[in-house]
Structure 1
């Protein structure tokens, strides 16, 4: 593979196509349930195409990545003044490709191999709209992350109370493209007030869709012994805001059969 397909739909299996067309009732609108904040989907992206995309991505973008690192604050313990009053901000160590600015090396490399066009394709957004069950706004954000050995994202909730358009919830969709040297990486997330749920995200072509905010974290990536050099997990990420009430036709991406003018269901 020398270029990503123009449409995300071209990567999908028949099962994935059924989801995209809104014909899989077990998946369509699953995140409308206020208790359901996360879904992991397997078998929806063709395995051979996913592996080809992974290899193309690794070759095109790996040298353009920039580190994103926020460690535990040095005074997180010494600064405490009361017992059992720990406060831990979001910690993370990962590398990222900057795809929001045309001036970056990452954007230029991604555009050259067709990644930007695919992540901005109608079917990329439509898949997120079907699973979320919501009408989503156009102009969604895109990003590529790369986890290496030991890279992780600590407990956080992705809540943005200062941003009017996101404070009541929004949708993230991740496509995982994992290199052969990875042993495992997991997503741990909250259910009934406890971080008890866990799913493997070190897949080749697995899709995860989130209705944020909710508490979760990504465990450190573990490499296979002796395979550290090829131990990377790539994540293609789209971030979608809910459409504004009474948004006009052509300004939103709606699930199949959904009205173009729709009031977004409030977050529980």
Structure 2
């Protein structure tokens, strides 16, 4: 594949273990078909050399074109309360992103030029997500790129979309996380049985996470290693997959 481009197919960045997911022989295959299992992750599904190469590509080409997300906690969540212990917290977040909604956005144009947009639209990416989901997924899935720097985070949220007819009964997200060596730590915390009891690191060089949404979760602020804040970032390449509509009898 060209040195300065993403591969055309998602499967080309997978490790031997990642290819087992596509082959249907990995223990995570079908994991999210169980409604009790909302989140799974593994740090050995992406080829290590590919992870380093793709992270360098993102740093070199996409970093300057990112759109900033800055949603602080609204002050009225405190000062307009009328009852004790009646807090209502909207999603607060700070990160950078590329949305694929408009083809004219600078980040989208760059993502097309370096092959990232095509890889995230490849059939092997959907096949990989379907293997983890344990069911067929619809065509035309959503794509996004996120980049977390020092102090960036995503506050508690559940990713429920009750006004979307196709998504309100649930859907699947797959995140490919590429963290720089200068990242000290970042954690994903999620709820089980109504409590935030589960916590996993997302700061490995290459982590694949699969979400059976909606459920409550948040991402802690990214922390850099001492003296290395300038290079500390974590890229997330994600796909949002709706379930395929059942065939009419």
Q: TM-score range by the shorter chain?
A: over 0.9
Q: How far apart in 2 are the matches of 1:47 and 1:201? A: 15
Q: Give the alignment of 1:141-220 within 5 angstroms.
A: 141-220=142-221
**Does 2:18 align with 1:19?**
no
Q: Secondary structure at the match of 2:28?
A: coil
Matched residue count: 247
In 2, Cα distance between equivalents of 1:155 and 1:58: 28
When the two chains are superposed, the root-mean-square deviation of aligned CA atoms in Å is 1.1
Instruction: Return the offset for 1:83.
Output: 0.8
Q: Tell me, in whole angstroms, the C-alpha distance in 1 between the residues paired with 2:131 and 2:246.
A: 18
Using the alignment, how far apart are the partners of 2:115 and 2:80 within structure 1? 48
| Shift, 1:98, TM fit | 2.4
Gaps of 5+ in 1: 248-260, 262-268
Q: Is the 8 A contact 2:181 2:205 kept in 1?
A: no
Taking the aligned partners of 1:2 and 1:40, their CA distance within structure 2 comes to: 28
Answer yes or no: is the 8 Å Cα contact 1:136–1:242 preserved in 2.
yes
Q: Provide TM-score, normalisation by structure 1.
A: 0.90
In the alignment, the residues of structure 1 paired with residue 69 and residue 195 of structure 2 have an alpha-carbon distance, to the nearest angstrom, of 27
8 A Cα contact 2:187 2:199, kept in partner = yes
How far 1:245 sits from its partner (Å)? 1.1
Q: In the alignment, which residue of structure 2 is the partner of 1:107?
A: 108
**Counterparts of 1:100 and 1:84 in 2: how far apart (Å)?**
39
TM-score of the pair, normalised by structure 2: 0.97
Alignment partners' CA distance in 2, 1:57 and 1:112: 12
Listed one character per residue, the Cα deviations across residues 134-183 of structure 1 (whole Å, up to 9, x for unaligned) are: 11000011110000110000000000111111000000000001122211
SS at match of 1:164: coil
Distance 2:239 2:22 in 1: 16
The match for 2:53 is 52
Distance 2:124 2:102 in 1: 22
Contact 1:100 1:143 in 2 (8 A): no
Find the aligned partners of 1:70 and 1:223 in 2 and give their Cα distance: 22
- Alpha-carbon deviation of 1:58? 1.2
1:163 is paired with a residue of what secondary structure? coil
* Pairwise CA distance, 1:99: 2.4
Partners in 2 of 1:164 and 1:215 — Cα distance?
Answer: 20
Question: SS of the residue aligned with 1:28?
Answer: coil
